[in-house]
A and B are shown apart, each in its own frame.
Chain A
């Protein structure tokens, strides 16, 4: 069965610095998608970034970028120039190409120090 592991329950970073959140997954599939979702204290879950497994190029969305290592089954999220509004729980999620269900990690709480 597919699993998603986030080994860092909590991370903290100084405002304006860069932080990397880790995610590893286990799958035997070749066609899948990976996601990073952000859940601020208000609880509304929003999509931060998405990566298609067949794409070699790492996805980037403004200050957010991923390091997708397919062979190592690693999918880390890098946040550059951290801002106070980035404080939230970050969840890594996996979905097979032919399936609909998201498999979620346990989340990493990101704290931004002013």
Chain B
């Protein structure tokens, strides 16, 4: 079974530039998560999709971050414009469903973003 795919693996940009990350979840997984992980910290949930609908984006800085999940499969996360403090690893995860039951989240390899 293929895992969660993410690209690119690394990205270096100047502040105020734009960047986009792509995620392809495990086939059949209805729930998709984007996390931001700053060095030395645990992941922070940015946004969660159930199929192609947003379940929770309360911690997404909406003035600069946006995300979409067209057709309920692939997802993209965009930052525009980037700030220095956006330097982090962006993790994508998916699970069968977010309903009761402690369904395991499967993670992709992440994208390491460096903002100069």
Residues of A near any B CB (own CB < 8 A): 4, 33, 35, 42-47, 50, 52, 91, 93, 95, 97-98, 100-102, 104-107
Chain A residues with CB below 8 A from B44, complex form? 104
Q: How far is the CA of A91 from the CA of B107 in the complex (A)?
A: 13
Of A44, A50, A52, A93, which is in contact with the most chain B CB atoms at under 10 Å from its CB? Answer: A44
Query: Could you pull out 8 A-B pairs where Cβ atoms are within 8 angstroms?
Result: A44-B110, A45-B43, A45-B91, A47-B106, A91-B43, A97-B102, A101-B48, A105-B42
Q: How far is the CA of A101 from the CA of B99 in the complex (A)?
A: 11
Asked if B45 contacts A101 (CB within 8 A), the reply is yes
Q: How far is the CA of A97 from the CA of B70 in the complex (A)?
A: 28
Asked if B45 contacts A102 (CB within 8 A), the reply is yes
Q: Is B98 an interface residue (CB 8 A)?
A: yes
Q: How far is the CA of A47 from the CA of B89 in the complex (A)?
A: 18
Q: How far is the CA of A33 from the CA of B102 in the complex (A)?
A: 6
Asked if A46 contacts B45 (CB within 8 A), the reply is no
Chain A residues with CB below 8 A from B43, complex form? 45, 91, 102, 104
The proximity string for B residues 88-116 relative to A, scoring 1 for CB distances below 8 Å and 0 otherwise, is: 01010100001111101111111010000
Instruction: Report the 6 A-B pairs with minimum CB-CB distance, sorted nearest first.
Output: A104-B42, A100-B98, A33-B102, A45-B107, A43-B110, A44-B109
Q: How far is the CA of A43 from the CA of B35 in the complex (A)?
A: 13
The proximity string for B residues 53-84 relative to A, scoring 1 for CB distances below 8 Å and 0 otherwise, is: 00110000000000000000000000000000
Q: How far is the CA of A98 from the CA of B99 in the complex (A)?
A: 7
Chain A residues with CB below 8 A from B45, complex form? 101-102
Chain A residues with CB below 8 A from B31, complex form? 100
Interchain nearest-CB distance for B20 vs A (Å): 19
Chain A residues with CB below 8 A from B98, complex form? 100
Interchain nearest-CB distance for B87 vs A (Å): 15
Asked if B40 contacts A100 (CB within 8 A), the reply is no
Asked if B104 contacts A50 (CB within 8 A), the reply is yes
Interchain nearest-CB distance for A114 vs B (Å): 25
